[in-house]
Amino acid sequence: MSRHRPFSNGTQFLDWEGANCGRCWKSTPSASRCAIESALYSAQGGDGTVSDRMAARMGYLAHRAASCWECPEREAVRPATGSRRVPAGQLGLW
């Protein structure tokens, strides 16, 4: 299994992160719900490389020539989780 360096420098990473993670509901200041973002932060603290699988998930393998591309897993709007049931008597507490 080979590894890939998707960004040539930190500025290129920040551009990609802002265009994708910065506009995705899964990215929050306190914790990430995205495996791609987590892998990129791990790579940033290591040798800068990600696995074949992660490179494919983030769209790097299809867009190697581009300096910034759209993440195929970016979700601008959080999906609806269904209606939330309010237990009886809870609305009258305040």
Please write the tens of the pLDDT for every residue from 6-27.
999 999 999 999 999 999 998 8
The residues spanned by each domain of the chain are 3-57
Please write the tens of the pLDDT for every residue from 26-73.
887 777 789 999 999 999 999 999 999 999 999 999 998 888 999 999
Residue 53 structure tokens: 């699988």
Which residues make Cβ contacts (< 8 Å) with residue 25, sequence separation at least 6? 75, 76, 77, 78
- What is the secondary structure of 50-81 as a DSSP string? EEHHHHHHTTTTT-TT-SS---TT--SSPPP-
Asked whether residue 82 carries a pLDDT value surpassing 70, the answer given is no
At residue 92, the 3 state secondary structure works out as coil
